């Protein structure tokens, strides 16, 4: 974790009392709709998704995936400390290290390196959301699929195709055609 912001061991060690380990089962929520996200997690093993469920149709729309060695949070809620408008859930057995927002705020006051870490988290969240938005505006479904595979290389093993299709904004049969076309190249 500390490599992303060139944090030295002394600064990182300040955080050791605050990190907790938690195992998630398939479908277990990291954060629920209308709850405030109070934790930042680091995924050791597993995949999480952020999604919204349509109130009228109950159709789920996937927004983001988080996989191993990535941070997971309902970022808008986490950064603003206001209720979130979506769910964050584990797609299978997952293991994370997590830290409470209050502990992070204490670390920000104690260390400039932790302040840089906070900036890194905010910038990473912004980058993920902008890349996703720009993907829908400027890229084909096939390009978005390839981007997803580059960002999450093991995702096909952990995520059902209908979730991947929802994330890409297409139907599962269209995703199957894309995968078949790419496999034949």
Note the pTM of the prediction, 2 decimals: 0.86
SS3 readout for the chain: CHHHHCCCHHHHHCCCCCCEEEEECCCCEEECCCCCCCEEEEEEECCEEEEEECCCCCCEEEEEEECCCCEECCHHHHHHCCCCCCEEEECCCEEEEEEEHHHHHHHHHHCHHHHHHHHHHHHHHHHHHHHHHHHHHHCCHHHHHHHHHHHCCCHHHHCCHHHHHHHHCCCHHHHHHHHHHHHHC
Tens digit of each residue's pLDDT (9 = 90 or more) over 100-145: 999 999 999 999 999 999 999 999 888 888 988 898 899 999 999 9
Low-confidence residues of the chain: pLDDT under 70: 1-5
């Amino acid at each position: 974790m500390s490599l992303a912001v060139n944090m030295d061991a002394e600064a990182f060690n300040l955080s050791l009392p605050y990190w907790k380990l938690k195992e998630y089962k398939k479908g277990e929520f990291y954060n629920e709709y209308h709850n405030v996200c109070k934790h930042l997690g680091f995924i050791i093993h597993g995949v999480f998704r952020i999604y919204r469920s349509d109130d009228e149709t109950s159709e789920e729309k996937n927004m983001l995936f988080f996989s191993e060695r990535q941070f997971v949070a309902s970022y808008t809620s986490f950064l603003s400390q206001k209720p979130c408008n979506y769910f964050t859930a584990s797609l299978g057995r997952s293991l994370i290290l997590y830290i409470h927002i209050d502990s992070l705020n204490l670390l920000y006051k104690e260390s400039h390196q932790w302040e840089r870490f906070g900036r890194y988290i905010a910038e990473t969240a912004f980058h993920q959301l902008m890349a996703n938005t720009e993907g829908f505006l400027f890229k084909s479904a096939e390009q978005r699929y390839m981007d997803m595979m580059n960002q999450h290389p093991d995702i096909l093993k952990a995520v059902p195709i209908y979730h991947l299709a929802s994330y890409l904004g297409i139907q599962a049969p269209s995703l199957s055609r894309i995968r078949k076309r790419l496999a034949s190249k």
